[in-house]
Amino acid sequence: MSQKVEVDFGLCESNGVCMGIIPEVFDLDDEDYLHVLQDDVTPDNEQQIKEAVRQCPRQAIAIRDE
Amino acid sequence: MPAAGHRHPRRVKSAEREQVTTSQLVFDPFSEEYFDDPWEIYRRMREEAPVYYNSEQDFYALSRHTDVAAAFKDYETFSSAYGLDLAMVKAGEKAPFKMIILMDPPEHRQMRSLVNKVFTPRAIANLKSMVVETIDQCFRAADPARFDVVQEFTAFFPVEVITRMLGVPEDRRQQVRQWVDTSLHREPGQVEMSPEGMQAIAEAMGLYFELIQKRRAQPEDDMFTRLVQAEIEREDGQKEKLDDVEIAGFATLLGGAGAETVTKLIGTAAVTFARFPDQWQKLLDDRSLIPAAVEELLRYEGPVQYNVRRSMKEVTLHGVTIPAGKPVFLLGGSANRDPEAFDDADTFDIDRDRTQAQNLGFGYGVHSCLGAALARMESTIALERLLDFMPRYEVLWDECRRVAMQNVAGWSHVPVRVLK
């Protein structure tokens, strides 16, 4: 079973907190839209992604089981 | 969110404390005791009554970090649609004003999306020179022998910035702040808005209606114009423009939130840094710490101490059942001092580990502060200027005055003397 990052773009307001925590996964473009560069949750990025989930002020990020 | 508690020593059981805290625990959000020193009341609530019930006013209050954070996220159980203060929620009817702070999803999401792009960190960064210019005005005639950080500085600039963004003409901007102050002021024991408060709201609405008509006729580069032009999908799927009441509601909310909060935060900063001069010295030595200091100020004594919600169904927590339809205070100000969430929670430490628990100073979840990026930028520049102006200072304590308001806490007068 793998895990994926999921963003609710209706909630996201481009605060960029996630990008500050792990820019390899989350990126804001010039138009202020968030892109998930890499949606696999791996042992290497898991802790930082969980931190981004927790710190997102909008609660817009989730980790989903595939 | 994982419970932050298990890294920390367990909470002292209330029985062990009983001998020292035998007086009756009263949380009255309109009392002088609460305005003057909420921290001891919060501590006792967290320890003795995590689901506090006030039988006189018939409301509940949550004070522990895990409970407050969870309730902020659970908008289905804890609704915003019935009001933002005790009087409104007690009335038990859906709020008569159209404001995003008084809406639940999905309506909330639609309306908020009309304005949220104006407040992203990137959009706000473009306003920096305007904010710097507005702040610098306050120091042109500043007297180092006596400078009231609130009256001469923090009361002035945030309302200038937000009303300028809205499109209020320069000569009317400070009037907006007086209206907001009047509508939020509470005498001890006063729950309802005063007639003066009602009058202030009516006058503000009058100004906003006038500006809406002007922007409909002649668009400008401001938020009133943006809102006049915005379309929203109604329940029946039809796209429609916002009506005047909805736009004025936005302006009232943004003007109020923008005027009252940073004003309080930076006033409190002057007091807090005077009490913790080693922390001020850290900023003098290394200004890159300013953003971290802003976060710590929000945690330690944020301007918004609580939000009121309405329970939509029966909830049982810590053995207490909150019936449906009751006002529930979510005490973010207490949660931010919860020793289960933060090490040495009562210590003001700008270097603290900020990943330990969610700082609830800007709220959390769907209603988390829309203006957070603006507040952070304003506060950062404000602290920069205060460091320049008063690297060493003393507070004239006898002349400090607290505000007595609902929903926001802080100081109305903080005079300081700059030391050589």
- Residue B1: list chain A partners with CB under 8 A: 54
Contact B247, B228 (CB under 8 A): yes
Instruction: Tell me the per-residue pLDDT of B269-284, one tens digit each, with 9 for 90 and over.
Output: 999 999 999 999 999 9
What is the pLDDT averaged over residues B289-306? 96
Dist CA B406 CA B35 (whole Å): 10
Q: Domains in chain B: how many in total?
A: 1
- Residue B73: list chain A partners with CB under 8 A: 59
What is the pLDDT averaged over residues A34-54? 94
pLDDT at B329: 98
CATH code, B223: 1.10.630.10
CA distance B58 to chain A (A): 31
Whether residue B324 has pLDDT greater than 60: yes
Chain A contacts to B (CB-CB under 8 A)? 10-11, 13-16, 28, 32, 51, 54-55, 57-59
pLDDT at A11: 82
pLDDT at A32: 84
In chain A, what are the domain boundaries? 3-65
pLDDT grade for B237, boundaries at 50, 70 and 90: confident
pLDDT at B11: 60
pLDDT grade for B268, boundaries at 50, 70 and 90: very high
pLDDT at B187: 83
Q: What percent of chain B has pLDDT over 90?
A: 75
Contact B62, B305 (CB under 8 A): no
Dist CA B363 CA B69 (whole Å): 8
ipTM of the complex: 0.76
CB contact under 8 A, B119 and A13: yes
Domain extent for B322: 4-418
Q: Where are the alpha helices (DSSP H) in B348-404?
A: 372-389
What is the pLDDT averaged over residues B241-270? 93
CA-nearest of B75, B25, B84, B260 to B157 is B260
- Residue A16: list chain B partners with CB under 8 A: 120-122
Q: Of B74, B118, B120, B354, which to mutate for an interface test with A (greatest number of A Cβ within 10 Å)?
A: B120
pTM listed for this prediction: 0.90
Cβ contacts of B342-348, under 8 Å, gap ≥ 24:
B342/B4, B342/B65, B342/B299, B343/B8, B346/B39, B348/B272, B348/B275, B348/B276, B348/B279, B348/B296, B348/B300
- Residue among B113, B355, B373 minimizing CB distance to A15: B373
CB contact under 8 A, A55 and B355: yes
pLDDT grade for B7, boundaries at 50, 70 and 90: very low
Dist CA B214 CA B86 (whole Å): 36
- Residue among B122, B123, B365 minimizing CB distance to A59: B365
Instruction: Tell me the per-residue pLDDT of B359-402, one tens digit each, with 9 for 90 and over.
Output: 999 999 899 999 999 999 999 999 999 999 999 999 999 999 99
Whether residue B5 has pLDDT greater than 50: no
Instruction: Tell me the per-residue pLDDT of B63-117, one tens digit each, with 9 for 90 and over.
Output: 999 999 999 999 999 999 999 899 999 999 988 778 999 999 988 988 888 888 8
- Give, for B330, the enclosing helix (H) or strand (E): strand B327-330
Instruction: Tell me the per-residue pLDDT of B329-350, one tens digit each, with 9 for 90 and over.
Output: 999 999 999 999 999 999 999 9
CB crowding B373-395: b at 16 or more within 10 Å, else e: bbbbbbbbbbbebbeebbeebeb
Whether residue B10 has pLDDT greater than 70: no
Dist CA B241 CA B233 (whole Å): 9
Mean pLDDT of the residues in chain B? 91
What DSSP designation does B23 have?
S
Contact B52, B61 (CB under 8 A): yes
Range name among A48-57, B18-27, B257-266, B366-375 with the lowest pLDDT average: B18-27
Contact B63, B70 (CB under 8 A): no
- In this complex, is the C-beta atom of B120 within 8 Å of any C-beta atom belonging to chain A? yes
Dist CA B262 CA B138 (whole Å): 15
What is the pLDDT averaged over residues B212-216? 97
CB contact under 8 A, A15 and B1: no
Q: Regarding the domain delimited by A3-65, which CATH topology (the fold level of the hierarchy) does it fall under?
A: Alpha-Beta Plaits (3.30.70)
pLDDT at A55: 86
pLDDT grade for B2, boundaries at 50, 70 and 90: very low
Give residue B68's identity as a one-letter amino acid code.
Answer: V
Range name among B18-22, B43-47, B296-300, B414-418 with the lowest pLDDT average: B18-22
What is the pLDDT averaged over residues B11-26? 62
Contact B211, B224 (CB under 8 A): yes
- Residue A32: list chain B partners with CB under 8 A: 117, 120, 122-123
Dist CA A38 CA A44 (whole Å): 12
pLDDT grade for A22, boundaries at 50, 70 and 90: very high
